[in-house]
């Protein structure tokens, strides 16, 4: 079986948001950040990118949030619900790549799991490079893109097979967090199609059971502290 050479999970700080966006259960009410007096369960919503090195080049999975998030989100009103302020200068994507010693021109492929701004916010960094943007199920050695719609119509997950670490599956927002994925399955408010969301979770679960994959969820704060992350750690 073909495997990828190396995988680096790149943490890019976190947003703050109402838990209901990620984990909608009976009795949970959605509020905006500006509702300071509301009884809201505010959550840390981490964001990350993933750098996968393969014999056929380097692939970047998602690009996290942009530095100018507030300016860009104001026209949509998203800044009232998601605040990207739990981030330091060294945690923005370009800073993280610099710390890894990886130039933008060294990245051959950019894969976007879906087109929400917390996953595509830095795609502009690659406009003057030769990186190829992939939004399909193209397969590189050790890398498989999995169609998992529901959160959005075209949402994808990524399976990476590694020689030493085994299989890892990056769910993106097809699995917001472990509590969304583990039976029973709980969606969040941001789901375009509930039937597809549930089907995609079970599709991922079947792959996990077959491969004994490590699941890496899109915005799981607890899990983010347990993973080996760049620049200190990586998976091979």
Splitting the chain (236 residues) into consecutive groups of 10 residues, what average pLDDT does each group show?
92 91 68 58 90 96 95 84 93 96 95 94 91 70 95 95 98 94 88 95 97 97 95 95
Partnered with residue 160 across adjacent β-strands are 143, 168
39-45 contacts at long range (C-beta below 8 A, 24 or more positions apart): 42/16, 42/17, 42/18, 43/16, 43/17, 43/18, 43/19, 43/221, 44/14, 44/15, 44/16, 44/86, 44/221, 45/14, 45/15, 45/16, 45/17, 45/21, 45/82, 45/219, 45/221
Is the residue at 235 inside a domain? no
- Number of domains into which the chain is organized: 1
Is the residue at 122 inside a domain? yes
Determine the pLDDT at residue 178: 94
Is the residue at 1 inside a domain? no
pLDDT tens digits, one per residue of 79-93: 878 899 999 999 999
Is the residue at 41 inside a domain? yes
Is the residue at 29 inside a domain? yes
CATH number for the domain spanning 166: value is: 3.60.15.10
Is the residue at 229 inside a domain? no
- Cα 186 to Cα 136: distance, rounded to the nearest angstrom: 27
Q: pTM of the full predicted structure?
A: 0.92
Residue 89, domain extent: 6-224
Is the residue at 52 inside a domain? yes
pLDDT tens digits, one per residue of 184-206: 898 988 899 999 999 999 999 99
Determine the pLDDT at residue 23: 83
- Cα 58 to Cα 53: distance, rounded to the nearest angstrom: 4
Is the residue at 236 inside a domain? no
- Cα 173 to Cα 190: distance, rounded to the nearest angstrom: 9
Determine the pLDDT at residue 149: 96
- Cα 54 to Cα 141: distance, rounded to the nearest angstrom: 6
Supply 23's token pair.
């984990």
Do residues 16 and 22 lie in contact, with contact meaning Cβ atoms separated by under 8 Å? no
């Amino acid at each position: 079986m073909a495997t990828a050479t190396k995988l680096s999970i790149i943490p890019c700080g976190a947003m703050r948001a109402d838990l209901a966006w990620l984990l909608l259960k009976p009795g949970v009410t959605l509020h905006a950040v500006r509702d300071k007096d509301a009884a809201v369960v505010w959550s840390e919503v981490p964001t990350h990118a993933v750098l996968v090195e393969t014999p056929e080049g380097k692939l970047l999975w998602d690009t996290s949030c942009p530095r100018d998030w507030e300016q860009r989100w104001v026209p949509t009103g998203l800044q009232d619900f998601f605040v990207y302020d739990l981030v330091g200068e060294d945690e923005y994507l370009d800073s993280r790549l610099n710390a890894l010693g990886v130039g933008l021109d060294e990245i051959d492929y950019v894969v976007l799991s879906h087109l929400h701004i917390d996953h595509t916010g830095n795609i502009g960094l690659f406009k003057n490079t030769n990186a190829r943007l992939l939004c399909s199920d193209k397969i590189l050695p050790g890398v498989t893109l999995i169609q998992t719609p529901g959160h959005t119509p075209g949402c994808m997950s990524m399976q990476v097979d590694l020689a030493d670490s085994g299989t890892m599956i990056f769910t993106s927002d097809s699995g917001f967090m472990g509590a969304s994925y583990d039976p029973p399955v709980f969606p969040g408010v941001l789901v375009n199609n509930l039937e597809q969301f549930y089907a995609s979770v079970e599709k991922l679960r079947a792959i996990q059971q077959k491969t004994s994959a490590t699941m890496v969820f899109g915005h799981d704060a607890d899990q983010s502290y347990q993973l080996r992350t760049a620049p200190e750690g990586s998976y091979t």
